Amino acid sequence: MTFADLAAFAGRNPVLSLALVGLTVAIIVNEILGLLSGVRRIGPAQLTALVNRDNALVVDLRAIGDFEKGHIAGAKNVQMSQFDPENKALAPAKSLPVVLVCQVGQTATTAAKRLRKAGFAQVAVLEGGIQAWQSADLPLVKGR
């Protein structure tokens, strides 16, 4: 395919061309905002390594019902409505890596920003959330 073919396609299909441009711009803006947020994003394999190597604290922000249906082994469940970075129970974790997990990664990003503002140095988000964990065929623990 040449540039001339691409230009001809764009001329014949202006709606599709605009949709493609719009989606491309949205993806680029989303990636730039993610990089500027200061929140590190990690995959399931990196999370496993952090837990095994550095004793990372995994905080699951999903609803208790979802948490009980299946969560990452050793994860602590904290409801987003009760999430407080200044909580005394979290204070010892300031020196540990903290990985936040939600359903797809959006809620965890918001919580991670709050932790960073509260002085937590090693904060990460499981990119893709628990769905990414499941897609990687990694085990979940049921119950509390």
Domain residue limits, the chain: 3-35, 39-135
Give, for all 144 residues of the chain, the pLDDT tens digit.
898 988 888 899 999 989 998 999 988 887 776 666 668 899 999 999 999 998 899 999 999 999 999 999 999 998 887 788 777 767 777 888 999 999 887 889 888 988 888 888 889 999 989 999 999 999 999 977
Task: Say what the pLDDT of residue 35 is.
Answer: 67
> Cα separations (Å) of 28 from 24, 32, 120?
6, 6, 28
Q: pLDDT value at position 44?
A: 94
3-12 and 14-36 helices, crossing angle to 10° = 110
Q: What pLDDT is recorded for position 96?
A: 86
- For residue 63, the model assigns a pLDDT of 92
For the chain, give the number of residues: 144
Q: Looking at the domain covering 39-135, what would its CATH class be?
A: alpha beta
pLDDT given for residue 107 in this prediction = 86
Joined together, the tokens standing for residue 87 give 């909580």
